[in-house]
Amino acid sequence: MIEETCVAEFIHVLLGVLGFFCVAIWQCWCGWLVSFLFFLGNLPFCLVQRYNRPKLVKLLRWLESKEPGQDPVEQVGLAIQYE
């Protein structure tokens, strides 16, 4: 899953950069506007992949190190306690 985040980030960066070829199609200010909007549209997806990757690596390391039979929710302290 971690490799998929790297691939997804690369593809969105590539799409954002290649979007500037819209200027070759529309050689006025419209081409620059479309290119900029296309880049801005791909930017959040790049940031999400970059933001989540360290968390996924940490989660993977934790899952690999835990002992069999442990409840991961209780160990992390995410269990919901009802009163």
Residue 67: the pLDDT is 66
AA identity, residue 40: L
State the average pLDDT over residues 22-33: 87
| pLDDT band per the 50, 70, 90 thresholds, residue 36 | very high
- Which two three-digit tokens encode residue 44? 């959040």
- Which two three-digit tokens encode residue 18? 């290649």
Residue 80: the pLDDT is 56
Q: Report the distance separating Cα 64 and Cα 50, nearest Å.
A: 22
Q: What angle do CA 25, 27, 31 make, to 5 degrees?
A: 70
Question: In this model, does residue 73 exceed pLDDT 70?
Answer: no
Q: pTM for this one?
A: 0.65
State the average pLDDT over residues 52-71: 79
Residue 68: the pLDDT is 66
